């Protein structure tokens, strides 16, 4: 049995709070940005969408910076294995985040339709990429990737694109889109709010199906390994239930629906983190090569 100290547990819990805080808060502005050209048909409507997240989107990035720095400080072996083995995917996430930030700053610098349209699409792509790829990254961390006895990742990009990982990406993408659509409906007026709610109905069904399928696969994998973790199973069931509840709530009580999707995101990552501990990365080639939090 892996031995770990109280300090290691505290650090793992702290990192969990940071990552969950980042996804719960950043998730709504990813989702709202993805709807820029769906909810906003006229230029003034798209301005409304972009301004709806204006006060918070850059502040939410602080959670990511602190989470990455804390990972490096507390578990340098995890940081080294993760960012070297997954190099191309974090790079794409970074490209998306940069593209998105630049798009918000440049969008209003010129009045021509072509200029604004180009930066709107840049912001959308810059939101879709991290929303999908973060789910793919965390699915691979939990499910396992090739890692040797020295703690070095030995797999290729193709090893990161398995069915479980892709489903994880779809789950986070659809869940963030649903989360953002409801948030947008709360922040803007009709007709933009009405379109956001219509998008929320479609995204909500997709999020419910993808999230429940992903969490069911997660629990099934746990059961095959050493038996399902009761706490992870509880978090998974609660996360799936909250997504389902949020779908009918979106039109009638959007504030309650946002609270439900926030809880669903938090509990989804709780289920993954509980499954992961005391490891921080699972080796798919040899369980003894998994990176532990020691």
Q: What is the pLDDT of residues 208-226, one digit of tens each?
A: 999 999 999 999 988 777 7
Q: What is the pLDDT of residues 122-133, one digit of tens each?
A: 999 999 999 999
Domain residue ranges of the chain, discontinuous segments joined by +: 6-292
How many C-beta atoms lie closer than 10 Å to residue 98's C-beta? Answer: 11
In 107-191, which residue ranges form alpha helices assigned H by DSSP?
113-143, 163-187
d(CA 288, CA 72): 22
d(CA 228, CA 215): 12
Distances (CA, A) of 224 to 159, 272, 273: 20, 16, 18
The answer to whether the CB of 276 falls within 8 A of the CB of 141 is yes
Which of 206, 213, 266 lies closest to 242 in space, CA to CA? 266
Q: What is the pLDDT of residues 6-41, one digit of tens each?
A: 887 888 899 999 999 999 998 999 999 999 999 988
4 CB burial (10 A radius; 0-12, 13-18, 19+): middle
d(CA 192, CA 185): 7
**Which residues in the chain belong to E strands, given as ranges?**
279-281, 291-292
Q: Determine the distance from the C-alpha atom of residue 15 to the mean position of all C-alpha atoms in its chain, rounded to a whole number.
A: 15
Predicted local distance difference test score (pLDDT) of residue 125: 95
Average pLDDT value for the chain: 88
Q: What are phi and psi of 153, to 5 degrees?
A: -70, 130
CATH match of 6-292 with 1.20.1630.10:
yes
Q: What is the pLDDT of residues 149-202, one digit of tens each?
A: 776 777 778 888 999 999 999 999 999 999 999 999 998 888 999 999 999 999
d(CA 183, CA 244): 17
Distances (CA, A) of 112 to 41, 99, 115, 140: 16, 20, 5, 43
The answer to whether the CB of 160 falls within 8 A of the CB of 86 is yes
- State the helix-helix crossing angle for 43-52 and 113-143, rounded to 10 degrees: 40
Mean pLDDT, residues 86-97: 91
Q: What is the pLDDT of residues 266-287, one digit of tens each?
A: 999 999 998 887 777 777 666 6
Q: Determine the distance from the C-alpha atom of residue 148 to the mean position of all C-alpha atoms in its chain, rounded to a whole number.
A: 27
Share of the chain above pLDDT 90, in %: 51
Q: pTM of the predicted model, to two decimals?
A: 0.92
Q: Return the half-sphere exposure (C-beta side, CA atoms, 13 A cut-off) of residue 231.
A: 8
Band of pLDDT at residue 3, cut at 50, 70 and 90: low
């Amino acid at each position: 049995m892996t031995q770990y100290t109280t300090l290691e547990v505290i650090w793992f819990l702290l990192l969990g709070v940071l990552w969950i805080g980042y996804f719960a808060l950043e998730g709504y502005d990813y989702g709202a940005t993805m709807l820029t050209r769906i909810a906003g048909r006229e230029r003034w409507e798209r301005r409304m969408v972009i301004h709806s997240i204006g006060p918070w989107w850059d502040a939410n990035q602080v959670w990511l910076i602190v989470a990455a720095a804390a990972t490096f400080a507390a578990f340098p072996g995890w940081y080294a294995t993760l960012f070297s083995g997954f190099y191309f995917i974090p790079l794409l996430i970074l490209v998306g985040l940069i593209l998105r930030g630049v798009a918000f700053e440049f969008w209003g610098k010129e009045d021509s339709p072509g200029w604004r349209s180009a930066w709107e699409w840049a912001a959308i792509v810059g939101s879709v990429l991290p929303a999908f790829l973060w789910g793919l990254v965390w699915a691979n961390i939990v499910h396992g990737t090739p890692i040797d006895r020295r703690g070095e990742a030995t797999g290729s990009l193709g090893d990161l694109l398995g069915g479980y990982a892709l489903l994880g990406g779809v789950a986070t993408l659809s869940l963030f889109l649903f989360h953002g659509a409801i948030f947008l409906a709360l922040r803007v007026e009709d007709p933009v709010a009405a379109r956001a709610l219509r998008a929320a109905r479609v995204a909500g069904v997709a999020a419910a199906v993808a999230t429940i399928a992903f969490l069911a696969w997660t629990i099934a994998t746990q059961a095959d390994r050493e038996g399902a973790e009761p706490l992870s199973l509880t978090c998974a069931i609660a996360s799936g239930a909250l997504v389902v509840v949020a779908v009918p709530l979106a039109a009638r009580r959007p504030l309650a629906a946002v609270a439900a999707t926030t809880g669903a995101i938090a509990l989804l990552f709780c289920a993954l983190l509980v499954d992961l501990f005391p490891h921080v990365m699972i080796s798919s080639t040899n369980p003894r090569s998994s990176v532990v939090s020691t």
